[in-house]
Structure 1
Amino acid sequence: MKENEIPAGANRKKRCVGRGHGNGHGKTSGRGHKGAGARSGYSLRAGFEGGQMPLFRKLPQRGFNRTRFQSPCAIVNLNELEKLSSDKVDLESLINAGLIRSNSTVVKLLGTGDVNKPFTVKVDQISKSAKDKILAAGGTVSE
């Protein structure tokens, strides 16, 4: 987008504060009288209600969330293995092929897609369908 293509009203003029009563933002500059909001460096924490007990602390905790107990793992499907240059499938070869991120430590191989050549697979986790398809193609699997 070029400067002449910017829609009308997209750029507003900066509010000029503290320059006297004539501009409508004089004296307290829109900060009110005293209090933390009038001071410099003040930032309000999310959910803060002025010292009153916040609503999120009043409500009971309900249910269970398993995200704290999950171990993150990189997921690779069988149809992505054709991007590999070699027949060896492990953490290092998947990172080099760009199929998973470089900071990944755990890999799980899933069975979406088909395998047309024998692969030597050495990953942390593998689904049953992926294991069956690799063995049917003549490959080997070691976890």
Structure 2
Amino acid sequence: MELNSIKPAAGAKHAKRRVGRGIGSGLGKTAGRGHKGQKSRSGGYHKVGFEGGQMPLQRRLPKRGFKSTTLKFNAEVSLTALEQLGAAEVNLVVLKQAGLVGQRAKVVKVINTGELSKAVKLNGIGATAGAKAAIEAAGGSLA
């Protein structure tokens, strides 16, 4: 094989369709554009979403909803998860290493789900009112 003899696979390349080249080509006269109308004219087209002057769908529908971009940095941990963790002192680094929260988490809150029997000291972690009561009842504290 030589560089000058390399060819594409059979059928991989085909000639570009030439329109507007006479009756015999099958695409003469209107060149596949049909008769009249904006789309038949040269340079005639419209913006994406344009509906001929009618109020477009994206403007007819009401604006709705909002998703905060900071939500991906928030995480929550249950009392059951703290019980299973079994650490006396818990902070963000410990939770990340244990895989209880994602690596991108910045704000962590303990929620009142399950039971807690061990005393746990929380550093830099929030807790709901119910969770705080449960932690303090078990002899733990929040810092």
Given residue 67 of structure 2, which amino acid in structure 1 is its aligned partner? Answer: T
For 2:77, the equivalent position in structure 1 comes to 76
- SS of residue in 2 equivalent to 1:104: coil
Deviations 1:94-115 (A, max 9, x none): 0011101111111011010111
Deviations 1:58-80 (A, max 9, x none): 3343x6x3533864410110101
Runs of 4+ in structure 1 over 4 Å off: 16-20, 69-72
Q: Is the 8 A contact 2:91 2:123 kept in 1?
A: yes
Q: Distance in 2 between matches of 1:85 and 1:136?
A: 17
- SS of residue in 1 equivalent to 2:59: helix
Q: Distance in 1 between matches of 2:87 and 2:132?
A: 18
Q: Is the 8 A contact 2:75 2:105 kept in 1?
A: yes
For 1:103, the equivalent position in structure 2 comes to 104
Identity rate, percent: 31
Q: Distance in 2 between matches of 1:54 and 1:18?
A: 41
Q: Is the 8 A contact 2:83 2:115 kept in 1?
A: no
What does residue range 6-17 of structure 1 map to in structure 2 within 5 Å? none
TM-score, normalised via structure 1 length: 0.57
Alignment partner of 1:114 is 2:115: yes
How far off is 1:87 after superposition? 1.3
What does residue range 57-72 of structure 1 map to in structure 2 within 5 Å? 57-61=59-63, 65-68=65-68, 71-72=71-72
Q: Distance in 2 between matches of 1:76 and 1:89?
A: 11
Structure with greater Cα Rg: 2
Q: Distance in 1 between matches of 2:57 and 2:120?
A: 55
- SS of residue in 2 equivalent to 1:76: strand
Q: Distance in 2 between matches of 1:69 and 1:98?
A: 22
- SS of residue in 1 equivalent to 2:116: coil
